[in-house]
Amino acid sequence: MVRLRFAPSPTGHLHIGAARTAIYNWLFARHYGGSFILRIEDTDFERSSEEMTEGILAGLKWLGLDWDEKPVFQSQRIKLYQEKAAELVKKGAAYYCSEGSSQAVRFKVPNKDVFYKDLIHGPITVKSKNIEDFVLLRSNGLPTYHLSVVVDDIDLGITHIIRGDDHISNTPKQILLYRALGVSPPEFAHQSLIFGPDKKKLSKRHGVTSVLQFREMGILPLALFNYLAQMSWDPGEERIYSRGEIIEKFYLDKRSQGSPVFDISKLEWINGRLISDKSAEELFPLVKAVLQEKGLWQHDLDIEKRPWFLQLIGLLKERSRKIEDFSDRALPFISDNFPYESKAVKKHLKDERLGELLARLSDDFIGLESFKALPLEKALRSRAEKEGIKPALLIHAARVLVLGTGVSPGIFDVLEIMGKEKTLERLAAFNSVSKSSKQ
């Protein structure tokens, strides 16, 4: 049975590159019916923190990743690493060396080239003369990365390791350690690193890279999961898959060796697709949380106005790429304190005839028995025909006055949800709104 692990260090947040590594290890384990192990590499006592550990766990859970055994913490296994270092010295595979007034343990590199077959890159050979004797145990008794990783992977029975290309230089040393401890090394797969738009390794300078930051900006977990899973792997058809579908299709031999570029606009496009596919009921708690965070939530939206609010979510979801977008787009519907885009006001409210035209259009709206999209559209187009003008003049003006923006979902659907009273009130504000743009 295959056993894979994800081994983050809690010295920072769970970033995009680490999340993709976790996803590929999890997919491999789930595809072959194996185990996915979580190991926290927290031997850097000065920089590791419980807060970071909790953040990493929260990020993995949010992405939909689970692990099959209780997480392993390296900080609780120091004695085991010390015992293995002593065992290697006893075998003659390592030796004590001085570090100041104390003794460290250093591995004795044998005079033999290291060969292994990488599951992504293919055969790799490293000459032993290019590997210097490396430290296993520091003079303070703490293990180096190489020792703790190998000892843990042996103890946990890890069969496959999927990690970034930045670990390729570590692999020969670790293979030597596995063999010195009398164990066959696991199979390695080194995946290309994620680059930013400038073709350099993705980092904080490129903006948001922390998984939980994406959650805060309204990215859905399945959107980020799909985007990261398909970054260097081709499932055969570019679309949004469920986690189960990706598990079924996942094979390492369908991976690309090229370095993928993180494209936030593509992630947002995927997210927008998922948002539009969700029902208003499914989106309700997510939108509610965003409005609460912005201080815009109104108690009655969850009670007597809930049906109306669900209708509003259904209208807005088609143009929303992030859950966060709902707060700005819902604002004119739930509050009179919303901004007017100056560019839209100047462009669509400049015609001096609009004051009278909108007044007559309002009279038409007042006379409607049903304030629904179809009667509203019929009334507006009829008024335009009577006035000898294009309907667009009234449509654009109504959009700016009612919503404050020059772009929106279908204006007649907007007016229906806005309601007769609020629509008439905002159309009547033409003079004050248009005058403000001229000051």
Beta-carbon contacts of residue 55 (< 8 Å; ≥ 6 apart): 13, 14, 212
**For 193, phi and psi rounded to 5 degrees?**
-80, 155
Closest CA to 180 of 124, 105, 119: 105
**What gap in Å lies between CA 80 and CA 43, rounded to an integer?**
13
Query: Backbone dihedral region of 401: left (phi > 0), alpha (psi from -120 to 50 degrees) or beta?
Result: alpha
322 annotated active-site: no
Q: Where are the strands (E) in 41-196, listed by range?
A: 72-73, 94-99, 102-107, 114-118, 122-126, 135-137, 160-164, 187-191
**What gap in Å lies between CA 257 and CA 269, rounded to an integer?**
25
Tokens of 225: 């999961």
Is 339 buried (19+), middle (13-18) or exposed (0-12) by CB count in 10 A?
exposed
- From the list 91, 127, 200, 204, the catalytic residue is 204
Give residue for tokens 């550990």: 53
Beta-carbon contacts of residue 294 (< 8 Å; ≥ 6 apart): 327
Catalytic positions, written as ranges: 204
